[in-house]
C-alpha cells in the first residue's frame, strides 16, 4: 500500500436501527474530526430551545468513542434521559490510487471494503421500552445538598459490607539484626 494514496472514502448509508422514530428526529452524525463542543452546542439547542423529545447520536470506526462522550455529556447536562444503544457493523469503501501509474496506461485504482464497528444511541425524554436490548434507564440525579452518606457508590449494585477488624492493617514490630551502619538492635514499625 506504500505506492498508493487514499483518494476517497464513503460510508454505506444505513437506516437508523430504532423503530417508530418520528420522521423529524435529529441525527447527530459524529465523525473522527468532529469537535465535541460544536456537536454539543447544536444538540443542546435542539433539546432545550427547540423542545425536541428525542435525539440520535451515531458514529463509526474511530468516532465511536467521541459519540459515547457526547451522549454522556448530554445525559449529565439534561438528566432524566432514557437511552437505547445499538452496536453494529458498517461497510466503508476506500478508493486508493497508484502513485506510480504504468507508463502506457491510466492510474490503477484499488477499492477496499472495510467492516468497521458502528454505534447508534437514542436519547429520549419520554420513556422507552425497558425490555429492548441496549436499554438504560435514566440515572438518579442527586439534588444539591442531598446527603450522600449511606448511599452506594456509583456503579455498585449493593453497598459494600463494613470492614472486619481482622482484615484491617496492623502495625508490625520488626527486629533488625546488627548492621554495619547501625549500632545494636533497632526496633521499627512498618505499616502493612
Residue 102 domain flag: yes
The pTM assigned to this predicted structure is 0.67
- Which pLDDT does position 145 carry in this prediction? 54
DSSP letter at 70 equals H
DSSP letter at 46 equals I
Residue 149 domain flag: no
Say how many domains are in the chain.
Answer: 1
**Mean predicted confidence (pLDDT) in 116-138:** 95
- Which pLDDT does position 96 carry in this prediction? 92
Say if residue 129's pLDDT is above 70: yes
- Which pLDDT does position 159 carry in this prediction? 62
- Which pLDDT does position 119 carry in this prediction? 97
pLDDT tens, 152-190?
445 545 665 555 555 444 554 455 556 555 454 445 554
**Mean predicted confidence (pLDDT) in 41-65:** 94
How far apart CA 67 and CA 119 sit, in angstroms, is 8
Domain that holds residue 77: 4-136
Number of helices (H) and strands (E) in the chain: give both, helices first.
2, 8
- Which pLDDT does position 157 carry in this prediction? 56
The angle formed by the CA atoms of residues 40, 41 and 43, to the nearest 5 degrees, is 60
- Which pLDDT does position 109 carry in this prediction? 87
Residue 10 domain flag: yes
Residue 144 domain flag: no
Residue 71 domain flag: yes
- Which pLDDT does position 141 carry in this prediction? 63
Residue 178 domain flag: no
Residue 156 domain flag: no
Residue 163 domain flag: no
How far apart CA 79 and CA 99 sit, in angstroms, is 52
In terms of Cα–Cα distance, which of 4, 10, 16 is closest to 113? Answer: 10
CATH of the domain at 63: 3.30.110.20
pLDDT tens, 54-98?
999 999 999 999 999 999 999 999 999 999 999 999 999 999 988
- Which pLDDT does position 186 carry in this prediction? 47
**Mean predicted confidence (pLDDT) in 144-149:** 53
Amino acid at each position: 500500500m506504500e505506492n498508493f494514496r487514499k483518494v476517497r472514502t464513503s460510508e454505506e448509508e444505513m437506516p437508523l436501527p430504532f423503530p417508530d422514530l418520528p420522521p423529524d428526529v435529529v441525527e447527530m452524525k459524529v465523525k473522527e474530526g468532529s469537535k465535541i463542543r460544536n456537536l454539543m452546542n447544536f444538540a443542546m439547542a435542539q433539546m432545550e430551545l427547540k423542545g425536541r423529545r428525542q435525539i440520535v447520536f451515531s458514529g463509526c470506526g474511530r468516532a465511536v468513542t467521541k459519540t459515547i462522550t457526547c451522549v454522556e455529556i448530554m445525559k449529565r447536562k439534561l438528566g432524566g434521559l432514557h437511552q437505547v444503544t445499538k452496536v453494529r457493523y458498517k461497510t466503508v469503501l476506500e478508493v486508493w490510487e497508484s502513485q506510480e501509474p504504468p507508463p502506457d496506461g491510466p492510474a490503477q485504482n484499488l477499492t477496499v471494503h472495510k467492516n468497521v464497528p458502528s454505534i447508534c444511541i437514542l436519547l429520549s425524554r419520554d420513556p422507552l421500552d425497558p425490555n429492548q436490548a441496549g436499554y438504560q434507564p435514566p440515572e438518579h440525579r442527586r439534588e444539591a445538598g442531598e446527603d450522600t452518606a449511606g448511599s452506594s457508590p456509583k456503579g455498585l449494585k449493593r453497598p459494600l459490607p463494613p470492614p472486619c477488624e481482622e482484615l484491617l492493617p496492623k502495625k508490625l514490630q520488626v527486629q533488625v539484626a546488627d548492621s554495619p551502619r547501625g549500632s545494636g538492635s533497632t526496633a521499627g514499625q512498618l505499616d502493612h
